[in-house]
């Protein structure tokens, strides 16, 4: 059943040509929304627009570059104001922190943190002036718990969690909604070569997309995918570090980003290094 709340909304999705972004663009378009995809890869954008159909348009953007994001936003809003901005673009370098090059962890911070911050800073004035709007930042469960081998990624996603919550409080009277989406292991190329944690299933991009669509329909501050992971992460602080670390080790969470198949991950690592 199509959501009447999403019907007619104009939605920007960064990182919208692949993975969670593409699944979300497809889902909201099916609910009657108009979607503007932003991505670095024009070829992937073109393929995504063809796949989604007439409800979608797409343009290149480097979210880490404020001027590029501003130009993208200006183009996206030529046909009318945006109702929802989904800051989804992100990269996930993994492996021992001391084995990573500085430009690798800097890129993770620039794309994951500055990308979302740029989007918020550019879109918020129009939303506040209109007294309505919705900003959705896609973080990760890695922003709520330590994952060895993901130091830069965890740091960046923790920042996204914090900035979303802080914006929610700072602009509480503006009429703008803020949502932080925190997926667990999702079946996209970001987890290529890794082994998922035990007991908690790998989710599909469509699962995250459905959760995002539901959050647009009925705004919530936090969205965990799957929902069960939210219960786990909320109770972790009550365990104490010793118990938490032991449980995480037994679930395989502390090896997932250290012991991985580098060959299976080579294609993704090469793409995000460009």
Catalytic residues: 153
Tokens (6 digits) for 32? 């009657």
User: CA torsion sign, 93 to 94 to 98 to 99?
Assistant: negative
Closest by alpha carbon to 69, among 49, 89, 51? 89
Q: 135 with 85: CB under 8 angstroms?
A: yes
- Residue 2 structure tokens: 């199509």
Q: Do strands 176-183 and 10-14 pair parallel, antiparallel, or not at all (unpaired)?
A: unpaired
d(CA 184, CA 255): 15
Rg of the chain (C-alpha set): 18
Please give the full DSSP string across 136-195, using - where no structure is assigned: EEE--GGGTS--TT-HHHHHHHHHHHHHHHHHHHHTTTTTEEEEEEEE-SBSSGGGTT--
Pair 38, 12: CB distance under 8 Å: yes
Q: How far apart are the C-alpha atoms of 190 and 203, rounded to whole Å?
A: 13
For 136, what's the count of Cα atoms within 13 Å in the CB-facing half-sphere?
32
- Asked whether the CA dihedral 146, 147, 148, 152 is positive or negative, the reply is negative
């Amino acid at each position: 059943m199509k959501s009447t709340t999403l019907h007619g909304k104009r939605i920007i999705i960064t990182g919208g040509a692949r993975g969670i972004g593409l699944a979300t663009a497809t889902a909201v378009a099916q609910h009657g929304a108009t979607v503007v995809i932003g991505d670095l890869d024009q070829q992937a954008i073109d393929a995504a627009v063809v796949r989604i159909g007439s409800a979608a348009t797409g343009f290149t953007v480097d979210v880490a570059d404020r001027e590029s994001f501003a130009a993208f936003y200006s183009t996206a809003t030529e046909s009318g104001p945006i109702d929802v901005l989904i800051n989804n673009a992100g990269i996930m370098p993994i492996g021992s922190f001391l084995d990573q090059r500085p430009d690798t962890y800097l890129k993770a911070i620039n794309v994951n943190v500055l990308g979302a911050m740029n989007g918020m800073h550019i879109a918020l004035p129009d939303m506040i002036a209109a007294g309505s709007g919705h900003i959705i930042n896609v973080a990760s469960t890695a922003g709520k718990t330590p994952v060895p081998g993901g130091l830069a990624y965890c740091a960046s996603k923790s920042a996204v969690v914090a900035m979303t919550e802080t914006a929610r409080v700072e602009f509480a009277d503006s009429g703008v909604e803020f949502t932080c989406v925190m997926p667990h292991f999702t079946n996209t190329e970001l987890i290529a070569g890794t082994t998922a944690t035990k007991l908690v299933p790998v989710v599909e991009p469509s699962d995250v997309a459905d959760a995002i669509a539901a959050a647009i329909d009925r705004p919530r501050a936090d969205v965990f995918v799957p929902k069960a992971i939210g219960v786990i992460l909320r109770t972790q602080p009550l365990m104490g570090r010793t118990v938490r670390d032991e449980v995480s080790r037994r679930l395989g969470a502390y090896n997932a980003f250290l012991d991985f198949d580098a060959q299976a991950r080579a294609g993704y690592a090469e793409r995000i290094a460009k």
